[in-house]
């Protein structure tokens, strides 16, 4: 009696279109719809279209009909006839070396000090973080004055302490990239400190107490406990900063425009130059794919390294 009633209700529900499960599914898709539309246009379509353009030659001003399929021409040009791409790649690698390991090491030390060895912890957090939340462009404007080759306070100071020919910083082909790296490392330091502090609060105090009982000194505790326990944090920072450093654009575009003599040009700046200054949409797309490939490989490599260990 009870069982037949149950099946009757079930049949009744199946006949009806708006079952609770179906309602939930439709609502689920509706809630995801805006995100999916955005993803389809700006990721799926955009990626496909730029892949197609990367095998074409297209001056934006000639309209859609001006797209000409040119096969591998762009890629051949990139590696054989365009020395600026090699320069940009080299600069990207130098910039990464300057802005990833060094700031990570400095901010790790600062974070450990701020975490337990000072009063007014919040003051230090706020102070080091202020450049990070400030517009990097406004920061760059300030540093462009500080780095002024003849009148700037930095060089006046250096000359004052007896250095006769201080570097000409942003206008010196040998120093422009390093100068940009100094500015962005300074501006980004607060971020790495905050991430390290979050990691440090997760390390159990007992580990340090046990080590102290065993007679470990400060340095031993740092290398035997702090660093191993912070491994996931260090890995996270390494991968995000590595990828971030390959995307550097803002500060270079604002301060040096890749110069002088391409000494500070990077891949994204080349994309910008080709696409939005010269309107070579095809060639700019090829460089975009080179960038995408490099970032993809770097991400895969770092993940693999982390898993293997």
Partner 1 sequence: MQLVRNNFGKVITTIIMGMFSLVFLVPLVWMLSAAFKFEKDVMRFPIQWIPESINVVYNFKAVWMGRVPFYLFYGNSIKVAVITTLITIVISSMAAYSLTKLKFRGRNIVFLALLSFMIIPDQATLIPRFIVIRWLGLYDTHIALILMSMFSIYFTFLLRQFMMSISDDYLEAARIDGASQGRIFLSIMIPLCKPVLATVAIIKFIWTWNDYQNPLIFLMDKLNYTIPLGMTFFRDDYSNNYAIMMMAALSGIIPLVILFIVLQKQVIDGIALGGVKG
Closest distance between partner 1 and the C-beta of residue 229, in Å?
A: 13
Q: Which residues, 6+ apart, have CB-to-CB distance to 91 below 8 Å?
A: 177, 263, 264, 265, 266
Cis peptide before 199 (omega within 30 of 0): no
> Does residue 137 contact residue 254 with C-beta atoms inside 8 Å?
yes
Nearer of residues 7 and 221 to partner 1, judged by Cβ: 221
Nearer of residues 132 and 225 to partner 1, judged by Cβ: 132
Burial of 300 (0-12, 13-18, 19+ CB in 10 A): exposed
Nearer of residues 4 and 63 to partner 1, judged by Cβ: 63
Closest distance between partner 1 and the C-beta of residue 239, in Å?
A: 8
Q: Residue 260's closest CA among 152, 190, 171?
A: 171
Nearest-angstrom CA–CA distance, 171 and 186: 19
Closest distance between partner 1 and the C-beta of residue 132, in Å?
A: 8
Nearer of residues 7 and 191 to partner 1, judged by Cβ: 191
Residue 110 structure tokens: 């600062």
Burial of 21 (0-12, 13-18, 19+ CB in 10 A): exposed
Closest distance between partner 1 and the C-beta of residue 268, in Å?
A: 5
SS3 203: coil
Nearer of residues 139 and 175 to partner 1, judged by Cβ: 139
Closest distance between partner 1 and the C-beta of residue 1, in Å?
A: 27
Residue 164 structure tokens: 């006769």
Q: Residue 175's closest CA among 143, 204, 137?
A: 143
Closest distance between partner 1 and the C-beta of residue 204, in Å?
A: 16
Nearest-angstrom CA–CA distance, 94 and 100: 10
Nearer of residues 4 and 160 to partner 1, judged by Cβ: 160
> Does residue 155 contact residue 222 with C-beta atoms inside 8 Å?
no
Closest distance between partner 1 and the C-beta of residue 166, in Å?
A: 13
> Does residue 261 contact residue 174 with C-beta atoms inside 8 Å?
no
SS3 58: coil
Half-sphere exposure of 286 (CA within 13 A, CB side): 22
Closest distance between partner 1 and the C-beta of residue 38, in Å?
A: 3
Nearer of residues 7 and 20 to partner 1, judged by Cβ: 20
Nearer of residues 149 and 172 to partner 1, judged by Cβ: 149
Length of the chain equals 309
Nearer of residues 169 and 246 to partner 1, judged by Cβ: 246
Closest distance between partner 1 and the C-beta of residue 4, in Å?
A: 26
């Amino acid at each position: 009696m009870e069982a037949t009633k149950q099946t009757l209700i079930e049949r009744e529900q199946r006949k009806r279109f708006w079952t609770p499960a179906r309602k939930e599914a439709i609502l689920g898709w509706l809630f995801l719809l805006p995100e999916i539309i955005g993803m389809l246009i700006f990721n799926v379509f955009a990626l496909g279209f730029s892949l197609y353009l990367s095998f074409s030659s297209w001056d934006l001003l000639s309209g859609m009909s001006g797209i000409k399929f040119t096969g591998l021409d762009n890629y051949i040009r990139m590696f054989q006839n365009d020395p600026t791409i090699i320069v940009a790649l080299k600069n990207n690698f130098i910039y990464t070396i300057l802005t990833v390991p060094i700031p990570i090491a400095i901010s790790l030390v600062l974070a450990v000090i701020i975490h337990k060895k000072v009063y007014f912890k919040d003051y230090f957090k706020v102070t080091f973080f202020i450049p990070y939340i400030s517009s990097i462009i406004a920061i760059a404007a300030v540093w462009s004055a500080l780095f002024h080759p003849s009148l700037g306070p930095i060089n006046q100071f250096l000359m004052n302490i007896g250095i006769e020919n201080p570097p000409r910083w942003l206008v010196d082909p040998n120093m422009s990239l390093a100068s940009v790296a100094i500015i962005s490392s300074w501006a980004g330091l607060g971020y790495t400190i905050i991430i390290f502090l979050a990691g440090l609060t997760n390390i159990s105090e007992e580990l340090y107490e046990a080590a102290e009982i065993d007679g470990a000194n400060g340095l031993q505790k740092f290398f035997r406990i702090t660093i191993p326990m912070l491994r996931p944090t260090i890995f996270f920072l390494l991968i995000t900063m590595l990828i971030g450093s390959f995307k550097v654009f803002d500060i270079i575009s604002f301060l040096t425009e890749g110069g002088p003599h391409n000494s500070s040009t990077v891949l994204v700046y080349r994309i910008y130059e080709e696409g939005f200054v010269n309107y070579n949409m095809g060639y700019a797309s090829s460089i975009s794919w080179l960038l995408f490939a490099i970032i993809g490989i770097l991400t895969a490599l770092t993940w693999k390294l982390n898993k293997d260990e």
